[in-house]
């Protein structure tokens, strides 16, 4: 058989012929391959002839002496097995992309949300991390303003912030509301007294703590009614000052619950001195597609609806 020039490219038709060739070799003859391939021996012979013409190589001897590969045929068989195996690996890896995510999730969260009983964030992060080692989660604990700026400039994929003054460049998805109460510690004179014995004037004149981060109008009104002589940049700082026994201050009920259970803190007039702040997931408008982020958001929604 005359030699042809090098094969310019491998087409889908070539791959089908090579699969047929591999099956014929595995079966040991054209006749044995008939039932496996579901075509006649003459059709197999025509396909084998087409393959030899396309490759410019005699692949096998067939006739009364039986079926036998040529040296070139054995080389083509080995190369075919390597190529077909690579195609299968490619197919498997692509299919796994639907099940194993790859990439990073950079998320900014305000401090002291880990004690929130709803645990929507924890459940969503758990579901994301279970998708395999191809996902890397990076958490930044910082202030709401820094989180929103990070989401806007793309440094963070998503943030969890109180909804105070929405920024035009961000989308906000409701997460849950955080309920805050006014607390004193066991060291404070109010602790051992019943609420009914503590007058409004005493509460308004007691030294209190003002957060120096953004608050809702309702929360600001509650603080303006107090004698705020100290400030704190976050809720942990407020807790430190409350625990000194010298101050009263507002804390989220889930954050203070541990100290309350230990008998270290208690709320004061919880029906009157309280406020709710909505916590939202912040996302950049017009963000680029990100499968890791989308899976996290889906998991978060499932946790909220569950």
pLDDT of the residue at 236: 92
Q: Is 177-277 a domain of CATH 3.40.190.10?
A: yes
Tell me which residue of 189, 279, 180 sits closest to 238, measured CA to CA. Answer: 180
- Pairing relation of β-strands 60-61 and 170-185? unpaired
Mean pLDDT of 108-112: 87
The helix-helix angle for 30-37 and 12-27 (nearest 10°) equals: 120
Query: Two tokens at 188?
Result: 């404070």
Helices (H), the chain: 12-27, 30-37, 41-55, 71-96, 120-129, 144-153, 200-205, 217-224, 235-243, 253-261, 291-305
Query: Two tokens at 301?
Result: 């929604």
Compute the distance between CA of residue 67 and CA of residue 56 in angstroms, rounded to an integer.
19
Task: Provide the pLDDT confidence category of residue 2 given band limits of 50, 70 and 90.
Answer: very low
Arch. (CATH architecture) of 103-175+279-305: 3-Layer(aba) Sandwich (3.40)
DSSP SS3 for 158: strand
Mean pLDDT of 131-136: 82
Tell me which residue of 38, 11, 33 sits closest to 23, measured CA to CA. Answer: 33
Task: Provide the pLDDT confidence category of residue 202 given band limits of 50, 70 and 90.
Answer: very high
Residue 225 has pLDDT above 90, yes or no: yes
Residue 100 has pLDDT above 60, yes or no: yes
pLDDT of the residue at 131: 81
Residues of the chain with CATH 3.40.190.10: 103-175+279-305, 177-277
Top-level class of domain 12-96: mainly alpha
């Amino acid at each position: 058989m005359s030699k042809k020039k090098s094969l310019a490219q491998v087409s889908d038709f070539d791959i089908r012929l090579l699969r047929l060739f591999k099956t014929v070799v595995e079966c040991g003859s054209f006749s044995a391959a008939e039932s496996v391939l579901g075509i006649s021996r003459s059709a197999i012979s025509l396909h084998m002839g087409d393959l030899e013409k396309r490759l410019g190589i005699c692949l096998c001897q067939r006739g009364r002496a039986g079926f036998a590969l040529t040296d070139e045929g054995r080389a083509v068989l080995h190369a075919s097995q390597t190529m077909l195996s690579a195609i299968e690996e490619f197919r498997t890896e692509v299919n796994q992309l639907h099940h194993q995510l790859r990439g990073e999730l950079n998320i900014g969260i305000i401090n002291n949300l880990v004690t929130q009983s709803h645990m929507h964030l924890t459940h969503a992060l758990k579901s994301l991390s279970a998708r395999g080692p191809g996902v890397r989660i990076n958490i930044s604990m910082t202030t709401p303003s820094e989180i929103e700026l990070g989401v806007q400039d793309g440094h963070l994929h998503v943030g969890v912030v109180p909804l105070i003054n929405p920024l035009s460049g961000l989308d906000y998805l409701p997460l849950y509301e955080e309920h805050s109460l006014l607390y004193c510690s066991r060291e404070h004179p109010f602790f051992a007294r019943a609420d009914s014995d503590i007058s409004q004037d005493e509460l308004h004149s007691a030294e209190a703590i003002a957060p120096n981060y953004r608050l809702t109008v309702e929360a600001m009104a509650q603080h303006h009614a107090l004698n705020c002589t100290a400030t704190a940049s976050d809720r942990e700082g407020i807790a430190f000052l409350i625990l000194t026994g010298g101050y009263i201050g507002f804390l989220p009920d889930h954050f203070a619950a541990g100290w309350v259970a230990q008998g270290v803190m208690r709320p004061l007039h919880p029906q009157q001195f309280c406020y709710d702040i909505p916590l939202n997931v912040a996302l950049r408008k017009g963000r680029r597609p990100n499968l890791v982020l989308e899976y996290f958001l889906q998991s978060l929604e499932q946790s909220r609806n569950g």
